[in-house]
Amino acid sequence: MTGQAAHPVAEPTAPWTVPTLADSVRLTDDAVLILDRRRFPFERNWVRCASVEEVAAAIADMVTQSSGPYFAALHGMVLAARAAATRPPAEARAELERAGALLVASRSTNNHLRKAVDAVLAPCGPVSGAELVAAAELGARRGAEVYHARSRALGEHSARLLPPGARVLTHCWADSYLIETVNAVRALGNEVSFVCTETRPYLQGARLTAETLAEMGVDTTLITDGMGAAVLAAGEVDALLTAADRVTMDGHVVNKVGTLGLAVAAHAFGVPFLAQVQAPDPAAPTAADVPIEHRCGDEVLHTLGVRTASTRVRGHYPAFDVTPPRFVHTVVTDRGPFAPDALDGYHRKAVSD
């Protein structure tokens, strides 16, 4: 990364204003600009990435999270195409594939990065020069359009599963899925309220989810991570709704660590757990097929740059956990809701359509 540049963002003036994080990755003529989610909403700084290597580093360093890496990867591949444009077609293609592998490796649990890379590679034939750059830009545009369309569909299906006035518990930051769900709920003439866990150690729930919902004019309450079971036991919420970084074909939900505990508690107290994902991953038949990222344990010893534990202790940070299908009520996809033991129907539906 080559540094940070402040970029002013106007405060919303109405509940229907598009929230800030809906547009947090931007491609320019010479770089990718990524809104630094590690400091949002206290600071609105944009990290400038001038190469695909810098984009991959930004993803790994948590500058962006949730669906942000997908769009960062789309645009990072465009940077790679621009850098390789002067090479012969075969060498240019090899450079794009190298760039793609670098991006996919930056955070391996979520398969969004692989999808973004594939979207850009798809229209890039054995060409170079301006033709290669144009093809990569086309792939990135198409990839973004498909992602947004599928997120809207997913949000609409989710909204129909939430009763009017529902109080919803969520964990971590569901990004476009959450925004589109709120939009769809309102399109039905309903309103819901949210209870957000803070989501240690990066506080995505406190800083990203709660702030975005508040920007949208949604009634929002914040709780600490340890309060989720108590809220569920008290009957204070009607549904547990989270995104999923990946869902396996046998119904395991892989998401931000802490999801498993909430899902078990929701199951115990009769609260449905709805897991949102655009599609179950056919490349992951079982949970054993999903790599679980372990981040440096030092990250749990700090909060927003302030150390919260003494130097006498060490930290442990599995960034994701796996919820077995018996604790999942419904997996909500862009093709509708499915029981976790019936996800093969997602792909059968595609054939029938």
Measured in whole angstroms, the distance separating CA 104 from the mean position of its chain's CA atoms is: 14
Selecting among 245, 321, 341, 344, the annotated active-site residue is: 245
- Establish whether 353 is a catalytic residue: no
Can you read off the two tokens belonging to residue 75? 């645009």
Active site residues: 245
